[in-house]
Amino acid sequence: MTPARILCAAALAACVLSGPVRAAVIATGNVEPDPLTTPWTADTDAYIGKTADGSLWVDGGDDLQSGTTWIARDPGVMGETTVTGAGSTWTNKETLEVGRSGRGTLEVVDGATVTINMGTSIGTYSGSTGDVTVRGPGSTWKTGGSFCYVGNFGKGTLTIADGGYVKSRSTFIAFSRGSVGDAEVSGPGSIWTTDELFIGNRGDGALKITDGGLVNSSYNYGYYRQSLIGCQIGAAGNVLVSGQNSQLNVGMLFVGDYGNGILTIADGGTVRNTEDSLIAYRAGSTGAVTVRGEGSTWITERQMQYGFNVGYDGTGTLTILDGGTVNTMSRAYIARNGGSVGKVLVSGPGSTWNHDSTLYVGGGDGAKGGAATLTIADSGTVSGYNSLINGDATVTGPGSTWSLSVGLGVEYGGTLTIADGASVTSGVGRVLGNATVTGAGSTWTNGGSLRVGYQGYGTLSVIDGGTVTSNSTYASDPSSGRVIISGVGSTWADSGYLNVSQAELKVADGGVLAANWLWFHSNPALAIDVAHNSRVIIGGGTGKITNYGTVHLLAGTGPTPGEVFTPILAGTWEGTGKYQAIGGTWDAVGHEFIASPVILASAGKTVGFDAATIQRVLVVDPATGRAVGVSLLALEESTILHVAAAPVEGDVLGQLAAMLETGQAVRGAWEFDVEGYGEGDPAYLSFDVGAGVARENLSVWHHDGEGWTSFDAWDLTYDGQYASFMVDGFSAYAVVAAVPEPGMVVLLAGLVLAAIAARRR
């Protein structure tokens, strides 16, 4: 207890001991004018601690009046005011400053009421400190006028606890640059109602709502009702809403306007805003919202103009963890405008984001959009109406789900990855960018059609046990689309008809494509690598395949010579399209593929053979033990081909290495020479790149005799040892991968040194 407060308490005790309890206004120390000798009125300009310490005590149901009041006016001065007890009131006609240049405090406790008609400043000047506490049921502080500063240029705190009530107009926590403001609303029945709320206007501001406290900010400011966290450039605002029944109700909410804003909703707290939400509104701003814990909820009820935004022009993040929930009833945008960054993470059992309108992952409403990321992981859940992906969306892990009642579009430049047992469901689907479903248990279920490349380019990859289902699909109508189904258990099942136009599909390494009816037209291409029982199944084996395009039946290095495969199961075969066997022969009557014998050759040595009977060559580099397979078209007439392959070395290989990014390395580079083969005829190359790499980390380069360029090996597959892809011309090719683990680096280094030593011998 401060000396001034001790004196004040002693004076109060003396009054109590001297007779019956009665209303009291007690001044101690430097209080001007002294209310005992000069009663205050609504026109009194009062000082509580003007040039020296002073205190004022109001209790016993007394009613104090004043005009303009300063508590702790001068530097170094302490001023204290306490209004206590039911019926005790203080009405200030003009403005109140708590800590003008010194250290000032105001306590409203035990049912007392303080009313300020024309605005309040807590911690007015730099170096000052102001503290206001409103505590206990019925305790009330009302401040009117156009402002309430909690930290004007100095440091200000506002505490509302144990059922206290505060009402203010436009409130600024940390109003000016260099100021510090802290407000806390704590306990059941503790309420703060304010017209507008700015947390961190130009300084560092913080608001805590805990243990059942409530803050309402909902005044109509023209068209909008707004609350801002991190308002101006360089400002920082931090809001915590924590605990069951703790709640913040606002109109329009900015988390990072020009400045830096943080909002945390934890342990059952709730934030509800009736209008737009913007995380990182202006360019250069940052905004971060975390909703953490079961029962923790953020609700946006409607859209006035902007909707729900994570990164409007700035850098925004939304993190939903450990059972938190976000409900957005307006359009939602992640990285809405060019130059913005938006990241959303929904992670953990029970963590949920429900969006009732369209969710744009990047851009929206004609905007190009910035760098957008949506990640749903560890059993997190997102559900909604419709979504368009122009950025990157990842759903990963068992129990992680994204459900859309209408549709999901992976737009130009957008990527969707469904991995490691996650699931996505949508009414209809569209892929104009890149969609990947990978890993056992990973699923994308479309109740209706799935269009791949519709009105543009798109790639769908179903790999390593992933599953896609749809009903009556258009693959690329009328433009180019690509589909890869690779890996045992990888399946695309269409319950209606699969209509393929100007598209390219590949089934490999045990993948399955299933449909009731498969129709190829407008010169599409289907490639089936027969290894591991890769298949296309039409109508369970009794349906119709209509082919007006080209079907490539492929055998790389895996199949045993003479092994027979049934890569297409159908009951009816129609159309004038072609079936071309590469690496074997095709029985057009029995619809069987027979794998070719394999000729072994050493690197740099030419081998000759009849392409009517042999279609596979395996070339081995004795210096490294690495190999490359060359599978060729089965020719109807006897034709002698001469094939040679040699590792790319020296300056040519050095040129490629210099072009690669950090973290990439060449896993195989070969130069090919094939004589007697038709120009433009397809071939299938299989590079031994070793184990331990992922298909998505592999890329192919091509050397045309002058320089290296990236090669569009869209059909690239990897079986754990060989990376295989189709070409229509021979020169030099290389397969590049991310740098492997240190042990593999040592192994590769050893192989390189062995090769150098062998060639020197």
Q: DSSP letters of 191-255?
A: EEEEEEEEESSSSEEEEEEETT-EEEE---BTTB-EEEES-STT-EEEEEEESTT-EEEESEEEE
> Which of residues 303 and 346 earns the better pLDDT score?
346
Name every residue whose Cβ is closer than 8 Å to that of residue 162 and which is 6 or more positions away in sequence: 135, 136, 137, 186, 187, 189, 190
What stretches of 536-684 show up as alpha helix (H) in DSSP? Answer: 650-659
Omega before residue 33 within 30° of 0, cis: yes
**Residue percentage of the chain with pLDDT more than 90:** 84
pLDDT in tens, 689-744: 999 998 889 999 999 999 999 999 989 999 999 999 999 999 999 999 986 544 44
pLDDT in tens, 569-591: 999 999 999 999 999 999 999 99
Instruction: Check pLDDT > 70 for residue 746.
Output: no
Average pLDDT over residues 223-233: 82
What pTM was computed for the model?
0.90
Residue 754 pLDDT grade (very low, low, confident, very high; cuts 50, 70, 90)? very low
Cβ neighbours around 622 below 10 Å, total: 11
Residue 758 pLDDT grade (very low, low, confident, very high; cuts 50, 70, 90)? very low
Query: CA–CA separation, 86 vs 59, rounded Å?
Result: 8
Q: Which two tokens stand for residue 34?
A: 């002294």
Residue 506 pLDDT grade (very low, low, confident, very high; cuts 50, 70, 90)? very high
- Predicted pLDDT of residue 406: 96
Cβ neighbours around 575 below 10 Å, total: 15
Query: CA–CA separation, 596 vs 612, rounded Å?
Result: 10
The DSSP call for residue 370 is -
> Which of residues 218 and 246 earns the better pLDDT score?
246
Q: CA Rg, the chain, in Å?
A: 37
Looking up tokens 């010194």, which residue turns up?
A: 102
Average pLDDT over residues 430-438: 95
- Predicted pLDDT of residue 455: 66
Average pLDDT over residues 73-89: 98
Average pLDDT over residues 47-61: 97
CB 732 within 8 Å of CB 666: no
From residue 671, give the alpha-carbon distance in Å to each of 605, 622, 655, 715: 12, 16, 15, 20
CB 279 within 8 Å of CB 333: no
Instruction: Check pLDDT > 80 for residue 6.
Output: no
CB 297 within 8 Å of CB 327: yes
